[in-house]
């Protein structure tokens, strides 16, 4: 089997790279990272929300190149079904796709107002109404699915594609000290305790370069 290569951008700022990286880790597929330069135009377009279509992250495997984070997740589920990125149960699988798709296509105000910044800490950050509406919907999704399936992950006892999709939101809520309900806060603790996420955060904090355009508002 040819070696898989996952191309990502900044670990400190790139929520989509984190999603693709977590999915690949969850799948168990061995891979090597290829990190593109902070000066790469594709990286800057992604991080500054300047493009409607991103080619990062992308996964190269067995002669194929897969971009778009959900497409990466679906591909990984096909080749590594034992990892259960998508649950085997039809109802849970449908819900996993639905809430992952909602994360993928929605919540623009929150993305813009609360960019991922793992080295940042903003205890007095003001969350305005549009971003708060997104946060309220996200925590509603969390409470609903934790209630339906008993946690600790969104679809039950096993982590899934949905948990990878929402992990960057968890980091945002902590970075900006957003107040949330106890059940959602417990879910955040579960996600933050994942060894894979802790490894990513440690690497993010070791990155030497900040992007001034992402820091200027804070």
Each residue's pLDDT, cut to its tens digit, for the chain (218 residues) gives 468 999 998 899 999 999 999 999 999 999 999 998 766 665 555 555 544 456 889 999 999 999 999 999 999 999 999 999 999 999 999 999 999 999 999 999 999 999 999 999 999 999 999 999 999 999 999 999 999 999 999 999 999 999 999 999 999 999 999 999 999 999 999 999 999 999 999 999 998 766 555 553 33
Q: Which of helix, strand or coil describes residue 87?
A: coil
pLDDT of residue 84: 97
* In this structure, CATH architecture of domain 90-200: Up-down Bundle (1.20)
> By the 8 A CB rule, do 113 and 129 touch?
no
Dihedral angle of Cα 131, 140, 198, 111, to the nearest 10 degrees: -20
pLDDT of residue 208: 79
33 beta partners: 6
Delimit the domains of the chain by residue range.
4-83, 90-200
Phi, psi of 65 (to 5 degrees): -125, 120
CATH topology of domain 4-83: Glutaredoxin (3.40.30)
Pairing of strands 58-61, 64-67: antiparallel
State whether the Cα torsion 33-195-120-207 is positive or negative. negative
pLDDT of residue 3: 86
Token pair recorded at residue 123 = 């205890």
Eight-state DSSP code of residue 29: -
pLDDT of residue 218: 30
pTM, full prediction? 0.91
What Rg, from alpha-carbon coordinates, does the chain have? 17
């Amino acid at each position: 089997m040819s070696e898989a290569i996952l191309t990502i951008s900044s670990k400190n700022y790139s929520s989509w790279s984190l999603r693709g990286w977590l999915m690949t880790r969850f799948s168990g597929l061995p891979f090597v990272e290829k990190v593109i330069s902070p000066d790469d135009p594709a990286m800057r377009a992604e991080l500054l929300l300047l493009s409607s279509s991103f080619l990062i992250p992308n996964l190269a495997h067995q002669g194929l190149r897969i971009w778009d984070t959900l497409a990466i997740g679906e591909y990984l589920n096909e080749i590594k079904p034992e990892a259960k990125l998508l649950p085997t149960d039809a109802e849970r699988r449908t819900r996993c796709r639905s809430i992952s798709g909602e994360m993928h296509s929605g919540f623009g105000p929150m993305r813009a107002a609360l960019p991922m910044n793992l080295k940042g800490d903003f205890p007095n950050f003001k969350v305005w109404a549009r971003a708060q509406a997104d946060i309220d919907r996200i925590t509603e999704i969390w409470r609903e699915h934790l209630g339906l399936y008993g946690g600790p992950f969104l679809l039950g006892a096993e982590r899934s594609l949905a948990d990878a999709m929402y992990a960057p939101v968890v980091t945002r809520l902590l970075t900006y000290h957003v107040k949330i309900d106890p059940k959602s806060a417990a879910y955040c603790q579960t996600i933050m305790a994942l060894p894979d996420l802790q490894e990513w955060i440690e690497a993010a904090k070791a990155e030497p370069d900040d992007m001034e355009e992402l820091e200027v508002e804070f």
